[in-house]
Amino acid sequence: MILESTQNSQTTQFLGLIPSVVMAADAKLPTKYGEFRIAGYRSLTSDEEFVVVYKGRLRTDEAVPVRIHSQCMTGDVFHSAKCDCGEQLQFAMETIAKEGRGVVVYQQQEGRGIGIVNKIRAYALQDEGADTIEANVKLGLDVDSRRYEQCVEILRDLGLSRVKALTNNPDKIQALRNGGLKVVERIAIEFEPSKDTQKYLSVKKFQMGHLLSLVTS
């Protein structure tokens, strides 16, 4: 069943925004975490597509757990030990399953927006000692070119107004607020740093401002 998109929601009207995404498909998605639904959204301003996995009643005054998850093929699919992205996605799905409702917006901005091929090039520079920021700079790429406005618009389109943000990234929290959603709680997604993730997480905390209490150096 394809749900009718609610682009003319009260929130969208209140914010005076012209819709820039549309739901194009919706279906059941059985997972190892239980029954979910999966939807496909298309941008009306670019060729970007978004995958949304959601569960339960979302049009409610109660806060709903949400995660904006940036695509990480190496971590999400191939279980790379260089990052904790796959573990974060798994934690988000488990949390939503336990609560009985929630949303993951899967944003296809691989490697903080540089794409998979450039990400692998950055990996090669990291093999030589560069950190994630230094590698991007050496390649002449942005450190982080991701934008989250359309992800937030998707959440509003699904009827959300109050959320629990599953994130360590303050930029995502600010994007949710800027988009008219009330962030009533942040749910940290942290794992003990390993020898493979220590440098990656240290850069996130001390150079990018991520909220990581387990990272001390």
Question: How many angstroms separate the CA atoms of 178 and 181, rounded?
Answer: 7
Closest CA to 114 of 85, 77, 89, 143: 143
Q: Annotated catalytic residue: which of 144, 157, 171, 196? A: 144
> Is 146 in the active site?
yes
DSSP string, 1-34: -PPPP-TT-HHHHHHTPPP-EEEEEEEEEEETTE
Q: Annotated catalytic residue: which of 112, 146, 156, 157? A: 146
Token representation of residue 55: 């569960």
> Are the C-beta atoms of 101 and 56 separated by less than 8 Å?
yes
The span from the first CA to the last CA of the chain, in angstroms, equals 49
Token pair 């978004």: residue: 50
Number of H helices, E strands in the chain: 8, 7
> Is 144 in the active site?
yes
* Active site residue ranges: 144, 146
